[in-house]
Amino acid sequence: MRTFEISFWDRDDPSLSAMLDERVDMLAGLRVPNFAAGANLKMTAPMDELNRWRKNRKHPLGITASVAAALRWALESDGLFASLFDGRDNLLVPDNPSIGVGVDAGNAARIMVVSGEEYSDPLDLADKIEASKRDIPTITPVPFSPGSKEKASNFAKRKRWAKMVKQELQERFDYLLPPLQKRRFDTWASQRGHIQLHNLGTHGVQEFKGLLRRPWVSMLWVLEKDEIVSPGDSGEFVSSPVLPLILVYAQELIPVDRACTFLSKVVEALTDPKCLEDRR
Amino acid sequence: MTPLKKIPPSIGADRLAGWTDKRMLYIHGFQHYMWYPNCCVQKNIELTEADILRKEMNREDPDPGSRVTFNHIINKAVANALRHHILFNSKRTWRDTYLVYPHIDIANVVDVEGMATQIVIPDADKLTLRQVAQLSHRLVSTRRVTLRHRMSRLDNIFQTLPLFNKLAWAFPFVNRVLRDYSHKGAIEHLESRPGSFLVTNPGTLGVQDCKAMLFFGFRMGCLRVMAIEQKAQIVDGKLGFKKVLPTGLDYDQRICDAPAAARLLNEIQRNLEDPRRYCAGPVDEPEIGSDEGGA
Amino acid sequence: MNFLQRVTKNSKRIMRMKPAAMVPSASVRKLLPAGKWSEGKAMERLARLCNAVLDNLGDQQVLGAAYDGHKALKFAKNPAVWVGPDGGKTWRRFSAPLEYLQLEAMLTASPTGLGDVRDQGLEILDLSELEICDWKGGLVSPQVARIVLLAPSWRPSASGDPEKYFGLVLDFDQRLMDAKTAVAFMDVLANSLLEETYA
């Protein structure tokens, strides 16, 4: 007789299901109909001037906060990138877009939303992000080791099953009624912002490829600082620090050149951060 | 940089008919539930230590059947890192269920006669580096024989039964029915160990970067190794170059976010940059959760 | 042309953007050494690239193919390419090798800058002037492939001296090709650009 070595965890495992439950909304949003054909554009911004500027300020800024300010500044010239789909294929462009900043919290990233209504000035927004960065409670990751393999009780299993079914039915039902669908999509903006900014530089990530889903139209990712060697003015090769940025945008909606213009606007603000102050 | 080679185009007009026939199996085999939200994080890893270890081991045992290559060190490093991130050693099934495998089986994509295929190194975390090398050499040469046989059989079918490719759409369904309703099919499906994590090396083709849906949602992660790159840097005012290996981790966004994936990638990097400490020797048996002895 | 006009123009493409039309696309990037082909204006460079692609499409007909209806492939007798300079602001179709002056004339012919409505055929997108150093794009049926030229960077050549390299990306349908086939096409393309002279 053959022996079987099939033992595995499924979502009824208590520790795994706790993690998955946290992501239930995420899972629902990541179904195929919600995917957008997201294209990724990468550009680098020189950091010399940026470093000098952000450290010499009265309240020094971190990289994330500086990029958030530049992003807010670029959104003033093109608000399309912060628009949201309302769930019925209509595109809504907000006057004062909120920016969601991704914060690492164990297994799932938490989004800190800075309201665009309250902080409409890029520098105010940056100061707010810098100030509240440390207030986000970090959650210790769920420990996964072979030792945590335990069986869930039948009651817990049934309870979880009922919860999942309820959520799934609710979602299907919402889709039929425009007001409910609209309400559901409205919550996205307050929970995750009109446009999201994530900084992966703290994890040492040097290249990234992201995806996009409705209702968002674009996302900005910041990677680890890089050194670029290029010929200088006198013909000598010089090394200069650059900040790689990746813009993920809805390719079916936004033309490539418009995305390039937007990303170069962010890069422009980071190259010469004085322009953020000049506008005051 | 590698000099450019003249490679003859692989799909000429004369071979086009046969090519699309075979590819129709893939086109129909791709179902929409296989879409998954994939993201990838990537890092440049230094290979100096791994190179020294590889040369040393090959000097000890120059037998071509047990030669250690970078691929083997990478496989071993991934297997070791997965022991601490077992969430990535899992599989997604229907109804948002995830199965975490009890074994770490590393699948490798190898190119055999123009056709991509996979070999599986079972329990790679419990093997020594030398054993991994020997096993994968043996598996590749075996696969070369069996795949040639299978491909020639498929060619024969296409030639003798011209209607065969018209029925290509039915194959995925037939497979599922066989698995669900035939006892033998079910046992074979349960018994098969298809590899819990995928390692692929498009760098051998000189690819600088590759972004693709590499595992169609059935695995949680995949490591991509690209061509070794020379990174320019200025040391003491002089231009110099350092060799780095761009390594990307593709992951399923449904189960985790970028930071968790970056942590696994960081651990793989740690293993690869100090291979003598982490990869060379055998790994102790885990204390809990040993699955042996079941009957 | 304002955004509304563009969206209206692309409405067919947006409507086609259903899950069933999304193609599982992969991108591979390779380095393309600068040389004689890259001298001169950006338009000149693009014209040489297009000519090289058209020259080699005969051997790689899969790249010039398009999906016809549900999962059936259609091959064009005279493969054509769609060219988008300036980051795809305008798109033009052409199926015979052209000189760059002709190409430039074609691209600036339309006073509205609307260009043609993209349909079947291989897309060639030029992002080199926009300083974009990486790209990954999705494909929507009936597209099968797309070629993107990226901004140049400095890297060591075989002799050890620093040399300028452009990035070349090929987005392709994963069901139709393996990475190896795609890379083979890029190598052929690079060789013909470096070895042969295009007007």
The DSSP code sequence of A106-157 is: TTEEEEEEE-TTT--SHHHHHHHHHHHGGGSPP-PPPP-SGGG--PPPHHHH
Task: State whether C3 and A257 contact (CB < 8 Å).
Answer: no
Please report, as a single letter, which amino acid is at residue A116: G
Pick C124 or A20 by higher pLDDT. Answer: C124
Domain definitions of chain A by residue range: 36-136+179-278
**Residue found under tokens 């809504």:** A92
CB A197 within 8 A of CB A220: yes
Q: Closest-CA residue in chain A for C12?
A: A252
Of the partner residues C133, C137, C153, the one whose CB lies closest to the CB of residue A39 = C137
CA distance A71 to A65: 10
Q: Which residue from A266, A225, A245, A201 is spatially nearest to A48, judged by alpha carbons?
A: A225
Per the prediction, chain B carries an average pLDDT of 80
Of the partner residues B40, B87, B291, the one whose CB lies closest to the CB of residue A209 = B40
CA distance C6 to C16: 16
Task: State whether C60 and B11 contact (CB < 8 Å).
Answer: yes
The predicted-structure confidence for B63-115, as pLDDT tens digits, reads as follows 999 999 999 999 999 999 998 888 888 887 765 667 778 788 999 988 776 66
pLDDT at A148: 45
CATH H superfamily, domain C30-194: Chloramphenicol acetyltransferase-like domain (3.30.559.10)
Q: How confident is the model at residue C8 (pLDDT cuts 50, 70, 90)?
A: low
ipTM computed for the complex: 0.83
CA distance B78 to B88: 11
The predicted-structure confidence for B101-134, as pLDDT tens digits, reads as follows 878 899 998 877 666 788 999 989 889 999 999 9
Q: Give pLDDT < 50 ranges for chain A.
A: 1-8, 144-148
Residues of B in contact with C178 (CB under 8 A): 111, 114-116
pLDDT at B293: 35
> How many residues in chain A?
280
- Of the residues B1, B14, B28, B42, the best mutation for testing chain C's interface (the one with the most C CB atoms within 10 Å of its CB) is B1
The CATH classification number of B21-278 equals: 3.30.559.10
Q: How confident is the model at residue B164 (pLDDT cuts 50, 70, 90)?
A: confident
CB A237 within 8 A of CB A229: yes
pLDDT at A4: 40
- Please state the φ and ψ torsions of residue A215, each to the nearest 5 degrees: -90, 5
CA distance A218 to A210: 10
pLDDT at B198: 93
pLDDT at C6: 59
Residues of A in contact with B265 (CB under 8 A): 205
Task: State whether C6 and A43 contact (CB < 8 Å).
Answer: no
DSSP symbol at B204: G
DSSP labels, A228-245:
EEEE-TTS-EEEEEEEEE
Report the Cα B2 to chain-centroid distance in Å: 24
pLDDT at B175: 76
CA distance C171 to C23: 11
- E strands, chain B, in order: 38-46, 90-93, 97-100, 106-112, 115-121, 197-200, 209-211, 221-225, 229-235, 238-252
Task: State whether B205 and C180 contact (CB < 8 Å).
Answer: yes
Residues of C in contact with A38 (CB under 8 A): 138
Q: Is the dihedral of CA B124, B127, B130, B131 positive or negative?
A: negative
- Of the residues B198, B201, B209, B238, the best mutation for testing chain C's interface (the one with the most C CB atoms within 10 Å of its CB) is B209
Q: Is the dihedral of CA C167, C60, C195, C101 positive or negative?
A: negative
- Of the residues B19, B210, B213, B218, the best mutation for testing chain C's interface (the one with the most C CB atoms within 10 Å of its CB) is B210
Pull the structure tokens for residue A39: 């294209």
Of the partner residues B33, B98, B258, the one whose CB lies closest to the CB of residue A16 = B98
Pull the structure tokens for residue A86: 């309302």
pLDDT at B278: 85
CA distance B124 to C72: 42
Residues 7-66 of B with CB under 8 A from A: 32-33, 35, 37-44
Q: How confident is the model at residue C112 (pLDDT cuts 50, 70, 90)?
A: very low
Q: Which residue from B91, B113, B110, B93 is spatially nearest to B102, judged by alpha carbons?
A: B91
Pull the structure tokens for residue A272: 């010469």
Q: How far is C180 from chain B (nearest CA, A)?
A: 7
Q: How far is C16 from chain A (nearest CA, A)?
A: 9
Quickly name the fold that domain A36-136+179-278 has: Chloramphenicol Acetyltransferase (3.30.559)
- Of the residues B2, B5, B6, B11, the best mutation for testing chain C's interface (the one with the most C CB atoms within 10 Å of its CB) is B11
Per the prediction, chain C carries an average pLDDT of 78
Of the partner residues A8, A146, A211, the one whose CB lies closest to the CB of residue B253 = A211
Give yes or no for residue B287 having a pLDDT over 70: no
What chains are in contact with B, requiring at least 3 Cβ pairs below 8 Å? A, C
Give yes or no for residue C170 having a pLDDT over 90: yes
Pull the structure tokens for residue B195: 């590899």
Pick B150 or B4 by higher pLDDT. Answer: B150
Residues of B in contact with A226 (CB under 8 A): none
CB C158 within 8 A of CB B241: no
CA distance A250 to A36: 6
pLDDT at B2: 41
pLDDT at A42: 92
Q: Which residue from B203, B223, B291 is spatially nearest to B82, judged by alpha carbons?
A: B223
pLDDT at B108: 93
**Residue found under tokens 């050499």:** B137
Please report, as a single letter, which amino acid is at residue B13: A
Task: State whether B100 and A8 contact (CB < 8 Å).
Answer: yes
Pick A37 or B43 by higher pLDDT. Answer: B43
Task: State whether C88 and A256 contact (CB < 8 Å).
Answer: yes
Residues of B in contact with A9 (CB under 8 A): 90, 98-100
pLDDT at B233: 81
Q: Which residue from C187, A147, C44 is spatially nearest to B5, judged by alpha carbons?
A: C187
Can you tell me the mean pLDDT for B211-236? 84
pLDDT at C113: 46
Q: Are strands C145-149 and C122-126 parallel, antiparallel or unpaired?
A: parallel
CB A237 within 8 A of CB B234: yes
CB A202 within 8 A of CB A223: no
Pick C9 or B235 by higher pLDDT. Answer: B235
Task: State whether A255 and C6 contact (CB < 8 Å).
Answer: yes
Please report, as a single letter, which amino acid is at residue A226: D
Q: Which residue from A194, A193, A224, A196 is spatially nearest to A208, judged by alpha carbons?
A: A224
pLDDT at A267: 95
CB B106 within 8 A of CB B120: yes
The predicted-structure confidence for B126-162, as pLDDT tens digits, reads as follows 899 999 999 999 999 998 888 888 878 877 887 787 7
Task: State whether A33 and C19 contact (CB < 8 Å).
Answer: yes
pLDDT at A75: 93
Q: How confident is the model at residue B7 (pLDDT cuts 50, 70, 90)?
A: very low
> How many residues in chain B?
295
- E strands, chain A, in order: 35-36, 38-46, 84-85, 91-92, 99-105, 108-114, 195-199, 207-209, 212-213, 218-222, 226-231, 237-250
Give yes or no for residue C167 having a pLDDT over 90: yes
Work out how many CB contacts closer than 8 A connect A with C: 75
